[in-house]
Structure formats: structure tokens, C-alpha cells
Structure 1
Amino acid sequence: MNTINLTALDLAIAASLIVLDAGMSIAFRLRLHRQLLIATVRMVIQLLLVGLVLRVVLASGSAAMTLAIVLLMIGAAAREVAVRPKQRLLRWGNYRIAALVVALSSMATVLLALMTAIQPTPWYDPRYAIPLMGIILGSVLHSASIALDAFLGDVVNSRNKIEGQLALGTTLQQSLAPFMRDAVRKGLIPIINQMAAAGIITLPGIMTGQLLAGLDPLSAVKYQILLLFLLAGSSGLASGGAVFFASRSISDKRERLRLDRFSTR
């Protein structure tokens, strides 16, 4: 089976659906057509730039260039995780938590895949490392931001209840435990739903792409199963790590809830 190359006309025809969405926004006064147009133009430009950069990186096979791209991706994902929660910690607390969690969870998962299941030569082959990192980071970003937002928001909203429990002799970790569990649970729900729907309700992205590229269906299924395992693992590490480090950031050695470490913006 030959790969079907898309032309500019093919993409223009598909872009007519964006025009349809914009028309609906105008007709129903949703006021989203301007945002939709900006998002569309931004998406096209970003993806074209990424494609050009990846063409150079993949052709060179350079370890340094691969590392630079990976670090840039991690930095961008960490920033998104940090700014999405409504509650912010002082002294760049959200950014420190996000950077640590995103880097550890994504790197650990990608390295596991490269060293065991995929085993490219060289092990850092950008043709595998960069796409894997991109897919994993999407899941990490989503899970970590949801968990961090849920935990910090619940702590602020329930501060009187937590302080009341502390006054009765409960340790801070015991008081925070229900909020931590709930936040991690919320962070894991998206990947659980994705895994439950895979195959019967939806054909996941990587599997669809491989089928369109002509790969054998069973081989595509194996890659998709591997990827979902990696996404589940990285989501667990990200949501659990975000909540753990956040709980440490709002407490001290004397087991006190440090509400003064929250930003009052």
C-alpha cells in the first residue's frame, strides 16, 4: 500500500470545516470566530515550523539537537501545567512543581520505551524519541494540570475544615489525604476513559496514522497498546507527583498548613 500524499488543495478543502464553525459562531453570536481563526492560523504555522525543524533534526540524527528539542518540549509542557491551575503558589511554586513532575514522568516513561520495547540504534534516535516524547507529554500535561488544579483548589476551599482537623490532633498529611486521593483520581480519569474506549468506540491517533501509512493492522495495534500503557504510566506518575510535591510545598516541618504560600493575585 502506497502512502497518500496530501496536497495544499486537500488541506484547503478540509479547512472549509473551520469556515463552517466560524459561520456557526457568527450565526449564534458565540463570539468565537476570531479565536477560532487565530487558533487555526497558529496551529498551521506551528506545525509547519515543527515539520521543518524535525526534518533537519531527523536528517542529522544529532544527539545534541535531539536533547535540545526534547528539553524545549518539556519546558513548554511544564509552563502549561504551571499556569492552568486557578490557584498559584508564591516564589514560582507552580513552575517548580510542574518542571520537576513533567521532566521526571516523561523522561522515565520515554527512556523505558526506548530501552526495552523499541530499542532503536542509536537509542536516542530522534525518529522515535521525539514523537514518543510529544505523545507522552500531551498525557502528562493533561493529568498533571488537572490533578494540581484540583488539589490546590480543594485545599483553599476547605482550609477551615483542614485547620479544624489539625486543631483536633490530626496530622496534616492525614487531613490532606482525601484531597490528594481525589486529585490523583481526577488526573487519571482521562487516560482510563481513553483506554476503555480504544478499539470499540475510537481508533486512537497513532493507530490511525499507521494504518493510513500502510502498516499491518496487527502491528499497528501492538504499537497502540504499547503507547496506551506508556500513557497510563506517565499519567499516574504525573498526577501523583504533582499532588505529592504540591502537598510538600504547602506544609512545613511543624506540620502546619502554609496558606501564606498561596498567591493572593
Structure 2
Amino acid sequence: MSYVELSFWDLALAALLLIANGVVSVWFRLGLERTLAVSALRMVIQLSIVALALKFIFTLDAPIWTILFGLFMTAAAAFEVVSRQERRIMGPLALALGAGAPFFAGLLATMFAAIAVIGPEPWYAPRYVLPIFGMMLGNALSGTTLVLDAMTSGVVRERPAIEARLALGAGRYEALDAILRRALTTGLMPILTAMAATGVVSLPGMMTGQILAGIDPVSAAKYQVMIMFLIAGSTGIAVVGAGLGSVLLLTDERHRLRLDRLAKA
């Protein structure tokens, strides 16, 4: 089996569906046509640059370029975490938490996959490491964003109850326990939903791409199962790390609630 090469005309035909979305936006006066055009153009440019960069890195097969590209992806993830927060925690520690939780979780899952599961030669081969790290980082980023947003909105909403618990002698983790548990559930819900729906409601992108590229469906399914397990693990690590870290940042060493560390909504 072999895959069907796509031409630029094929991509242009596929873009007709995006134009249909623009027509819907104009028809219903949604005002999203400009956003659709900018988002589509940004996606094409970003994917083109990344494809050329990966082609260059795959050709060199040098660890230093793999590391640099991974750090660039982490920096972009940190920016996304900060920009998606309705009320973000201010300060360098908050930025470090937003970048560190997805990075550590993604790196751990990627190294586990490369060394213990797949075992390519060499184990740091960028053709395997970078795509896996990208999937781990992206999903861990989503979980981290959700848990941080749930924590900041939760402490603002339940400030009187939290301060009452603290005044009665509860520690910061005890006072924020209910909010933390809800935030962790929120952060884990997307991957739980995705695992439950995979194969029944939808065929995931990786499996679909492999099938379209001519890979045997059974082999593609094996890879997809592995990736889903890794994503679930890395997302769980990132969500827990971000949740516990946010408790520390939203309180101080004297176990006082510090809403002054939050930016305005």
C-alpha cells in the first residue's frame, strides 16, 4: 500500500469548506470571518515552517537540534498557558509553573516511550522523539490550562469560605481541598472523554494519518493505543503538578489567601 500525494490544488479544494464557514459567519452576522481567515493563514504558515524545520532536523539527526526544537515548543506552550487564563497568576513563578508542568510531564512520557516502549536506534532519534513530545506537550498544556483556570476562578468565587477555613486553623491544602479536587477533575476530563470516545465516536488523528499513509489499520491502532496511554499519563502528571503548584502560588508561607497575586480579569 502507498499513500496518495496531495497537491496544492487538493489543499485549495479542501479550503472550500473553510470558505463555507466564512459564508455562515457573514450570513448569521457572527463577525468571525476575519478570525477564520487569520487562523487558517496562521495554521498554514506555522505548519509549513515546522515541516521545513523538522525535515532539516531529521536530516541532521543531531541531539542538540532535537533539544533546541523541544525547548522552542515548551516556550510556545508557556505563552499559550498564560494567554488562555481569564485571571492569571502574576510573577515569574507562575510562568515557570505553566511551562514546567507540561514540559516535565511531556518529557517524562516521551523518554519512557522512546526508551522502554518503542526503542528506536538511537533512542533520541528526532523522527520519533519530537512528534511524541509534541503530542504529550499539547495535551498536557490543555490540562494545565484548565486546572489553573479552574483554580483561579474557584478561589475568587469561594474566597469567604476559604478564608473562614484558614481562620479556623486549616492549612492551605485543606482549605483549598474542594477547589483543588474540582480543578483536577476539570483538567483530566478532556483526556477521559477522548479515551472513552476513541474508536466508537471518532478515529484519532494519528491513526487516521497512518491509515491514509498506507499503514495496516491494526498496526495503526496499536500505535494509537500506546499514544493514548502516554497522553493520559502525561496529562495526569501535568494536571497534578499544576494544581498543587497553584495552591502554593495562591497562598503564602503563613497560609494566607493571596488574591493580590492575580491579574485583573
Q: TM-score, normalised by structure 2?
A: 0.97
**Sequence identity percentage:** 40
Q: Deviations over 1:30-63 (max 9, x none)?
A: 1000110111111111111111111111111011
How far residue 127 of structure 1 moved from its aligned partner, in angstroms, is 0.4
Q: Supply the distance in 1 between the matched residues of 2:79 and 2:175 (Cα, whole angstroms).
A: 29
Aligned to 1:196: 196
Q: How does 1:220-239 map to 2 (within 5 A)?
A: 220-239=220-239
Q: Supply the distance in 2 between the matched residues of 1:168 and 1:2 (Cα, whole angstroms).
A: 68
Report if aligned partners of 1:101, 1:241 keep a CA contact under 8 Å in 2.
yes
Q: Deviations over 1:50-95 (max 9, x none)?
A: 1111111111101111111111001111221122121222323431
User: Which portions of structure 1, spanning 4 or more consecutive aligned residues, are displaced by more than 4 angstroms?
Assistant: none
Is 1:23 equivalent to 2:23 in the alignment?
yes
Q: Supply the distance in 2 between the matched residues of 1:257 and 1:107 (Cα, whole angstroms).
A: 32
Q: Which moved more, 1:82-91 or 1:239-248?
A: 82-91
- Count of residue correspondences: 265
One-letter identity of the residue aligned with 1:186: T
SS in 1 for 2:176: helix
Q: Supply the distance in 2 between the matched residues of 1:7 and 1:83 (Cα, whole angstroms).
A: 35
Aligned to 2:161: 161
Is 1:246 equivalent to 2:223 in the alignment?
no
How far residue 214 of structure 1 moved from its aligned partner, in angstroms, is 1.2
Q: Supply the distance in 2 between the matched residues of 1:120 and 1:198 (Cα, whole angstroms).
A: 27
CA RMSD of aligned residues (A): 1.2
Report if aligned partners of 1:83, 1:94 keep a CA contact under 8 Å in 2.
no
Q: Supply the distance in 1 between the matched residues of 2:155 and 2:25 (Cα, whole angstroms).
A: 37
Q: Supply the distance in 2 between the matched residues of 1:59 and 1:11 (Cα, whole angstroms).
A: 26
Aligned to 1:115: 115
Aligned to 1:133: 133
SS in 2 for 1:85: coil
Is 1:257 equivalent to 2:254 in the alignment?
no
Aligned to 1:143: 143
User: What residue ranges of structure 2 are gaps of 5+ in the alignment?
Assistant: none
One-letter identity of the residue aligned with 1:36: L
How far residue 264 of structure 1 moved from its aligned partner, in angstroms, is 4.1
Q: Supply the distance in 1 between the matched residues of 2:90 and 2:56 (Cα, whole angstroms).
A: 40
Q: Supply the distance in 1 between the matched residues of 2:229 and 2:240 (Cα, whole angstroms).
A: 17
Q: Supply the distance in 2 between the matched residues of 1:202 and 1:182 (Cα, whole angstroms).
A: 27
Q: Supply the distance in 2 between the matched residues of 1:262 and 1:9 (Cα, whole angstroms).
A: 49
Q: Which moved more, 1:64-73 or 1:91-100?
A: 91-100
One-letter identity of the residue aligned with 1:67: I
Q: Supply the distance in 1 between the matched residues of 2:264 and 2:137 (Cα, whole angstroms).
A: 30
Q: How does 1:16-95 map to 2 (within 5 A)?
A: 16-95=16-95
Report if aligned partners of 2:103, 2:137 keep a CA contact under 8 Å in 1.
no
Aligned to 2:170: 170
Q: How does 1:206-225 map to 2 (within 5 A)?
A: 206-225=206-225
Q: Deviations over 1:167-193 (max 9, x none)?
A: 223222111011111001000000000
One-letter identity of the residue aligned with 1:204: P
SS in 2 for 1:123: coil
SS in 1 for 2:2: coil
Q: Supply the distance in 2 between the matched residues of 1:191 and 1:12 (Cα, whole angstroms).
A: 32
One-letter identity of the residue aligned with 1:53: A
User: What residue ranges of structure 1 are gaps of 5+ in the alignment?
Assistant: none
